[in-house]
Amino acid sequence: MDWLSPYLLTAAIAWVVAQGLKYLIDAVVLRRLPTARQLYFSGGMPSAHSALVVSLLVVVGYYNGLGSAVFAIMTAVAAITMYDAVMVRRSSGEQGASLTALIKEQKSAVRLPRVAKGHTPLEVLAGSLVGSSVATIVIFVVK
């Protein structure tokens, strides 16, 4: 399978698995099937962003070595992505929800903003576990 990039394959599978799990978890919690939009929306359990970057981190570490420059770069990208999901995007999502409530309360003509949800630390951890699991499976299957 020389034509198949383990990097792209792992990233794609990790994202699909995380988004699929998010859909299934919402179906169990809501006790009904969520809308198809849930398959690509951000936020929720597990974090697909974390799954994707951690899966790439693991594959890069395996194929390029833990001492490689690309592993160091991927570590920084993963750390920034996960920090952003918990701190920045979560905070802006909470602010967006508050702003939406205020606009509704005031019966303002201002158009409601789209509120992008961030993640809790548990959602990021779960996404990281999904990503590392997918990467481990891909590494041993693609060999």
Could you read off the pLDDT of 54-75 as tens digits, one per residue? 999 999 999 999 999 999 999 9
Contacts of 7 (CB under 8 A, 6+ apart): 56, 59, 60, 63
Q: What angle do CA 121, 122, 124 make, to 5 degrees?
A: 65
In this predicted structure, what is the pLDDT of residue 15? 96
The C-alpha angle 27, 25, 87, rounded to 5 degrees, equals 125
More confident residue, 55 or 1: 55
Instruction: Please tell me the least confidently modeled range out of 7-11, 17-21, 84-88.
Output: 84-88
Share of the chain above pLDDT 90, in %: 50
Give the start-to-end residue ranges of the domains of the chain: 6-142
**Which single residue is written with the structure tokens 């299957």?**
141
pLDDT (tens digit per residue) in 79-91? 999 999 888 777 7
Q: How confident is the model at residue 130 (pLDDT cuts 50, 70, 90)?
A: very high
CB atoms within 10 A of CB 96: 16
**How do residues 117-126 score in pLDDT, each as one tens digit?**
778 899 999 9
